[in-house]
Structure 1
Amino acid sequence: MNISRMKVGTRLGLGFALVILAGLAMALIGSVQLFSIKRDTALLVEDRMVKANQFGEVSVHINTMANSVRNVLLSNDDKDKQAERQRIVDARAQNNALLQQLQGSVRLPAARAQLEKIDGIRSSYNAVVDRIIALDAQGRGDEARSLLRTEARPLLGSYFAALDGAIQAQQEDMRKLAQHTEGAASSTAWLLAVIAGLAALVGAAVAWLLTRSIVRQLGGEPDYAASVAREIAAGNLAVQVQLRAGDEHSLLAAMRAMRDSLAQVVSRVRQGSESVATASSQIAQGNQDLSGRTESQASALQQTAASMEQLGSTVRHNADNARAANQLAQSASTVAAQGGSVVAEVVDTMRGINEASRKIADIIQVIDGIAFQTNILALNAAVEAARAGEQGRGFAVVAGEVRSLAQRSAEAAKEIKQLITDSVGRVEQGTQLVDRAGSTMQEVVASIRRVTDLMGEISAASGEQSQGVSQVGEAVQQMDQVTQQNAALVEEMAAAASSLSGQAQELVQAVGVFRLDSGHGRVAPAPRPAASAPLSARGAAPAAARPGAASLATPARRPAPPPAIAAQPVAAKDADDDWETF
């Protein structure tokens, strides 16, 4: 892991982290040892010492019982004896409670063995005491005293010996715990001292390494690096930066490289600012020429727009006439169509009349045939009547009348047939004439429809032509507006170029504050060319002279920038030569 490539914050963080880890290790070890000491001390104070004191209390109560038994035997007063007996009962009860508590809490094997022995002796001793109290109550004092000497005293000695053994076992364990606690405290103190020494050494090493890496990365003292930075910020690019031998990657080395690079950039800026000023002056002069030509083009476009407006008016008038003629042709076509419909209805009516006349002729022919048959029948009847003689005379008269009527009917039928035939012929001629009239009306309607279609096409073409002329006029107007806007933009570009020239001069003066050494040299600022008149007044006069200019909105001119800076005479001549072919 390369420490020199780390961030300063990371290095300091790692150093402090090591020191903090050492402190945490000390705190952790000390806490563990202190917890062990606390546990042993608590065991010593709260268990071993308490158990030893409880065994001592049992010994005191046994001694109290022994004294009370002796006092019972020595006293002659019944009240005193009764008080001593009660004291024996109380001491025995307290012993029983203490021994029962010890039975449930003692954990040392040696103390546990002594406690079992105490429990056995306690039963025997209590029984002997009860016998002594009973003998004394019976007035058998000598036997009671004898029993006290022979049995009670040996049991009492064993009782005390067992209690002393239990107390010594507790005390022995207390001494061991005390020695262990003292050893743990001593070892903890030595261990913490060693860890503290190591932490101090690690902290010192980390501080030395961090200081060394930061100083090497800076390349020198921070105050020296700050003074060099202040000199460069003040524009002194000739300041000397002292470096150690072989130092190529420190902050001071980077600052020296920055100083050299900045000196080169400033030198190039000084050399290029004069070229920028000259080129901007030439651009300004060329933009002035372009502005004049653009204004001339705008004037021509305004005149073209006026002509397109007149042409559009004429085309719109023609389109209106074509639409009116189209409407008249459509009306005539409608009337002709209605006439054709009426003629068609007349033709249908004449055809119906012709068919009815033919049917009447057929009926008349049938009537003529019936009259002929009636005449024949009447003739036959006359013949038969003539044969009959006188008897058939009346029938012959009737047959003659019938024959006469049949003949008149036949003549009338012939006349009607002739009239119907003539009528049918005339109806057929009228039908033919009406058919011809219907055909003629259909041709007229078709012709009028063709004329109407042609007028519709002429009207549509006139409308499209009017729309196209309007679009061309709008395009010309837009071109006029765009040309005027271009003229305004060209003027602004000329002013901007002049302003750029002035700013280039200001840049030369601004770069002049940097102090360079003799290796980079100095470039004197170029002199400012004379300022020319602004062009913002151009472009308005041609628009006012154009006919119909009220319908075209002249774009608003923006305020003119600062006056343009004229180029040198030779540069202006070159610009004129270049812009001749625009």
Structure 2
Amino acid sequence: MLSRISVGRQLGLAFGMVVVLVLVLAVTAWSRMAAMHQDFESLVDTTLPALTALGEANDKLQLVRISELKHLAALNMPSKDREEVVVKAAVKELDAALARYKASSGAQADPALQANLATAIGKFHALRGTFFQMSNSAAGAEGERAMEASDFFDGPSQQVYQAAYQALQKLWQDQLNQAEQDKARGRQAVVQANLVLAGVTVASVLLSIALAWLISRHLLRQLGGQPAEVAALATSISQADLSSVVQLRPGDERSVVFAMARMQASLTQIVQSIRQGADGVATASSEIAQGNHDLSARTEHQASALEQTAASMEELSATVKQNADSARSANQLALSASAVAIRGGEVVGKVVDTMQGINQSSRKIADIISVIDGIAFQTNILALNAAVEAARAGEQGRGFAVVASEVRSLASRSADAAKEIKLLIAASVQRVEQGVSLVDQAGSTMAEVVGSIRKVTEIMGEISTASSEQSTGVSQIGEAVTQMDQVNQQNAALVEQMAAAASGLKGQASDLVQVVSVFTLGADPAPTAVVATATPVRGLTMAYS
């Protein structure tokens, strides 16, 4: 049952039981003390005030009787008046004491006795007026009145006083008996409380002893031996001595000693494995360090080559950039020439249009000259006809013949001039036609020049674009080479760090071998070191992000 509970819970359970027993003891003691305190308070707060009130009533009753006697013995009225005041004051105090008794919670006497006392006190007060009259009448008198007052005091007044006094004494005795009963109950409660406390205390002690024995016995079983033996075994293990022989009890498979024995065996195997692994790590780290040194040298050589490549790429980038600038300048000049050629083509086109207009105008002039030639021919015919008619008219037509001769001469000259103009116009038209043909050829040639210049401009634009792209590409290649150079330098630094880490690992492996060598493994054979075979480094592949 206890084997399923942890040690902490067992101890907690044991101390919890002890605490519970202490609490039970404390609660029992508290409850008994509370009961006794309640009885004591009842005695102090109820019974004692009731007895005190009855005692004061008894004293005041006797004071009233003594004052009445003094009133009877007084010889003059002033003395009797003073005593009467004393009697009345004592009567008030008596009534007040009886009232306190009735008002107190401790008035537990027989109700019949309380009623008897009230009746007797009432009768005692009822005769007081008669007593004062008879006593006052006997003031300064002798003989029969004094005797009557004395007989009344010793007779009826004394009887009611005795009745009141006896009733008060009976009530006092009954109340005192009640107090004695309360006292007896208190003593019995004290005895019972002592018995209960003694029983609970004995039970607590016995249960605590039983729990201590059970838990200590179970703890020894869990330890598997005495605490000193367990401490000695733990000390030997902590001092790296794994050769101790552990004596286990028969059937012990759950104790701390059994667990430490298993731990010692496991540590022995672990230390043997660590020794073998440490030797292997030392050998492998040495070869890794050598390989890292070789890799560092090759990485530095590669970094130097990349630096030269980066410098060459920077020069090539400058040359390509200059070519791109020149291509852009040539492209601008080609664009300007193309614009000039286009404007020249437009001018040639206008010249062609003008020459065609001149050609058409020359043809129209030739047509007009032909008309003038026809008119001159007709005029010549008309002049010839006029000369014939003038010849027929004789002398009368001689003047008209002269005019006709002049008109004919003018028509002849006009015809000759028209012929010459026609020849000139024909030559001019022929030249204009040749000029138009040449202008047409010049326009075609200019169109071909404009087309060629456009193609040259397009080619120069493509060359400029290609040069810009080539410059951008070369710049990117240069940046990539620069980044490769930086990465290679970082890789070189990392390789140096790896070499330093490998050297540190080699030192740590040596330290580990020395640390593991402090363990004493008894008669076990020394472990054989496993030597790792290192593969030479033939190449280097690195990735950088």
Q: With structure 1 as the length reference, what TM-score do the two structures score?
A: 0.68
The one-letter code sitting in structure 2 at the alignment partner of 1:93 is K
1:521 aligns with 2:525: yes
Which of 312, 319, 324 is residue 314 of structure 1 equivalent to?
Answer: 319
CA distance in 1, matches of 2:164, 2:271: 111
| Partners of 2:108 and 2:178 within 8 A in 1 | no
Correspondence for 1:424: none
Task: State the shift of 1:440 in Å.
Answer: 9.9
| Partners of 1:111 and 1:165 within 8 A in 2 | no
Task: Decide whether aligned partners of structure 1 residues 115 and 450 sit closer, same or farther in structure 2, where only a CA change above 3 A counts.
Answer: farther
| Partners of 1:4 and 1:217 within 8 A in 2 | no
Task: Decide whether aligned partners of structure 1 residues 5 and 434 sit closer, same or farther in structure 2, where only a CA change above 3 A counts.
Answer: farther
Per-residue deviation, residues 67-117 of structure 1 (Å, max 9, x unmatched): 333443345354543443233222112112222222322554535443333
Counting only pairs closer than 5 Å after superposition, residues 23-422 of structure 1 correspond to structure 2 as 23-105=22-104, 108=107, 110-139=109-138, 140-291=145-296, 293-295=298-300, 297-298=302-303, 300-332=305-337
Task: Decide whether aligned partners of structure 1 residues 291 and 50 sit closer, same or farther in structure 2, where only a CA change above 3 A counts.
Answer: closer
| Partners of 1:273 and 1:504 within 8 A in 2 | yes
CA distance in 1, matches of 2:529, 2:155: 137
Task: Decide whether aligned partners of structure 1 residues 25 and 333 sit closer, same or farther in structure 2, where only a CA change above 3 A counts.
Answer: farther
Q: What 5-or-longer segments of structure 2 have no aligned partner?
A: 139-144, 358-432
Task: State the shift of 1:237 in Å.
Answer: 0.9
Counting only pairs closer than 5 Å after superposition, residues 502-541 of structure 1 correspond to structure 2 as 502-518=507-523, 520-523=524-527
Q: Classify the secondary structure of the residue corresponding to 2:522.
A: coil
CA distance in 1, matches of 2:57, 2:503: 119
Task: State the shift of 1:580 in Å.
Answer: 8.9
Task: Decide whether aligned partners of structure 1 residues 33 and 437 sit closer, same or farther in structure 2, where only a CA change above 3 A counts.
Answer: farther
Q: Classify the secondary structure of the residue corresponding to 1:110.
A: coil
The one-letter code sitting in structure 2 at the alignment partner of 1:33 is R
Task: Decide whether aligned partners of structure 1 residues 495 and 33 sit closer, same or farther in structure 2, where only a CA change above 3 A counts.
Answer: closer
The one-letter code sitting in structure 1 at the alignment partner of 2:96 is A
| Partners of 1:26 and 1:195 within 8 A in 2 | yes
Q: What 5-or-longer segments of structure 1 have no aligned partner?
A: 354-428, 527-566
Per-residue deviation, residues 546-578 of structure 1 (Å, max 9, x unmatched): xxxxxxxxxxxxxxxxxxxxx99xx7xx856x7
Task: Decide whether aligned partners of structure 1 residues 492 and 60 sit closer, same or farther in structure 2, where only a CA change above 3 A counts.
Answer: closer
CA distance in 2, matches of 1:199, 1:213: 21
CA distance in 2, matches of 1:79, 1:580: 148
Correspondence for 1:16: 15
The one-letter code sitting in structure 1 at the alignment partner of 2:194 is A
Per-residue deviation, residues 201-260 of structure 1 (Å, max 9, x unmatched): 122122223322332222222222222222112221101223222222222222211111
The one-letter code sitting in structure 1 at the alignment partner of 2:525 is G
Task: Decide whether aligned partners of structure 1 residues 47 and 319 sit closer, same or farther in structure 2, where only a CA change above 3 A counts.
Answer: same
Q: Classify the secondary structure of the residue corresponding to 2:12.
A: helix
Instruction: Count matched residues.
Output: 460
CA distance in 1, matches of 2:152, 2:346: 170
Per-residue deviation, residues 135-181 of structure 1 (Å, max 9, x unmatched): 23234334433433442222222211221222122112101110111
CA distance in 1, matches of 2:491, 2:69: 141
Larger CA deviation: 71-80 vs 23-32: 71-80
Q: With structure 2 as the length reference, what TM-score do the two structures score?
A: 0.72
The one-letter code sitting in structure 1 at the alignment partner of 2:29 is G
Q: Classify the secondary structure of the residue corresponding to 2:228.
A: helix
CA distance in 2, matches of 1:37, 1:341: 139
The one-letter code sitting in structure 2 at the alignment partner of 1:11 is Q
The one-letter code sitting in structure 2 at the alignment partner of 1:85 is E
CA distance in 2, matches of 1:247, 1:23: 37
Task: Decide whether aligned partners of structure 1 residues 580 and 28 sit closer, same or farther in structure 2, where only a CA change above 3 A counts.
Answer: closer
Correspondence for 1:401: none
Task: State the shift of 1:186 in Å.
Answer: 0.6
The one-letter code sitting in structure 1 at the alignment partner of 2:34 is F
| Partners of 2:101 and 2:107 within 8 A in 1 | no
| Partners of 2:49 and 2:101 within 8 A in 1 | no
The one-letter code sitting in structure 2 at the alignment partner of 1:154 is Q
Greater Cα radius of gyration, structure 1 or 2 = 2
The one-letter code sitting in structure 2 at the alignment partner of 1:58 is A
CA distance in 2, matches of 1:168, 1:443: 161
Per-residue deviation, residues 427-446 of structure 1 (Å, max 9, x unmatched): xx9xxx99999999999878
Task: Decide whether aligned partners of structure 1 residues 442 and 69 sit closer, same or farther in structure 2, where only a CA change above 3 A counts.
Answer: farther
Q: Classify the secondary structure of the residue corresponding to 1:242.
A: coil
Task: Decide whether aligned partners of structure 1 residues 181 and 444 sit closer, same or farther in structure 2, where only a CA change above 3 A counts.
Answer: farther
Correspondence for 2:371: none
CA distance in 1, matches of 2:506, 2:494: 18
CA distance in 2, matches of 1:69, 1:285: 137
Task: Decide whether aligned partners of structure 1 residues 434 and 54 sit closer, same or farther in structure 2, where only a CA change above 3 A counts.
Answer: farther
Task: Decide whether aligned partners of structure 1 residues 96 and 469 sit closer, same or farther in structure 2, where only a CA change above 3 A counts.
Answer: same
CA distance in 2, matches of 1:343, 1:44: 150
CA distance in 1, matches of 2:55, 2:82: 24
The one-letter code sitting in structure 2 at the alignment partner of 1:60 is D
Task: State the shift of 1:261 in Å.
Answer: 0.9
CA distance in 1, matches of 2:329, 2:483: 32
Correspondence for 2:6: 6
